[in-house]
Amino acid sequence: MKTIVDTISGCASKYFAIWTTLAATSAFIFPSVFLPLVPMGKWFMMIVMFGMGLTLTSGDFKPIVRHPWPLVVGVVCQFVIMPALAFGIATVLQLSPELTLGLVLVGSVAGGIGSNVMVYMSKGDVALSVAMTTFSTLISAIATPALMLLYMNQLLPVPAANLVMSIIQVVVIPVTIGALLRSYMPRATREAARTVPLVSAIGMVLILAPMVAINQELLVSVAGVLIIAGILHNVGGLFLGYTVSAAFKMPVPQRRAISIEVGMQNSALAAMLAHVHFDPITALPAVFISVWTMLFLPILANRWRFRDEKAKRSGGVKRHTMTIKDTPETKH
């Protein structure tokens, strides 16, 4: 039976783009209201990641243990395609070193927390999506600092050791604690896990909006180029993730899961890391990409689901060709 908590959590996920846009706009108009929240970003992220841990169960990973290849391909794509794409876009658009760093940081973090919902909406492989989010999140403690050193150390100093410690503190430890509690106290944590979409939405908004407030004066001058960079990065990641998985002849649900996982980054984490370890302006790419992603991905997910339903009603079988607007196959 659906409870009020379920309804509110569902609305928080479904309309997250609206909440983010409203919060960002409010932070731009009334920055003084949000500035006191800036130092609390780390704690908000820890709460969000703890909630993610509470949602994990051993059953989520059984199909992946039997067939790990899609997970390996997806995670490798995530940490190869996205930072390289970010650096390439920043170079072509001639972004400043600070904005380049911010964009590469977005490309170097793990997959977005809301990606599992998007994969579910698109009729993709949810088990693969959950596994990719989890493993990329844990791997990011090493991968993210290493990638930042690789791409950015010649432009700006990268405190790799501090990045490692921050990610362990705000990501790995909370996720691990949440997962252990879910494993050893399943009955008690099951109800708490139902609030995770709501808590995650609130937490990410409270991380991103203060980044707008602290950079209010700079936003007008860089908004145009950041919008272009953010769209190119997200759509490019979606397309390339889909292309690679199609090249490995994976079934359509897995292609969709990998596409969304590769293209959707944990922008709130990138914004928090940018603020803690770099100039505040480096958080701006994460803010723009977060808003765009939550506007565009529900449209793409619903488009994919609609094409499935249309094909099912017509009873036709149309063989798949690699494109982000895929035609579903009847056998996976």
Domain 4-314 fold: Na+/H+ antiporter like fold (1.20.1530)
Percentage of the residues of the chain whose pLDDT score is greater than 90: 28
pLDDT at 14: 61
The ranges assigned to domains in the chain are 4-314
Across the chain, mean pLDDT equals 83
pLDDT at 4: 65
DSSP class of 179: H
User: pLDDT confidence of 79, banded at 50, 70, 90?
Assistant: very high
DSSP H or E run through 173: helix 173-184
The whole-angstrom separation of Cα 243 and Cα 238 is 9
pLDDT at 5: 57
Tens-place pLDDT, residues 116-163? 778 877 888 888 888 898 889 889 999 999 999 999 988 787 888 888
Q: 3-state class of 111 per DSSP?
A: strand
pLDDT at position 57 over 80: no
The answer to whether 47 touches 201, Cβ cutoff 8 Å, is no
Segment 324-330 mean pLDDT: 43
pLDDT at position 56 over 90: no
138 CB contacts (<8 Å, ≥6 apart)? 171, 172, 175
pTM tops 0.95, yes or no: no
User: pLDDT confidence of 74, banded at 50, 70, 90?
Assistant: very high
The answer to whether 258 touches 87, Cβ cutoff 8 Å, is no
Tens-place pLDDT, residues 177-209? 988 888 888 877 877 777 777 777 788 788 888
Residues paired with 111 in a beta bridge:
265
pLDDT at position 109 over 90: yes
Segment 25-39 mean pLDDT: 87
pLDDT at 7: 65
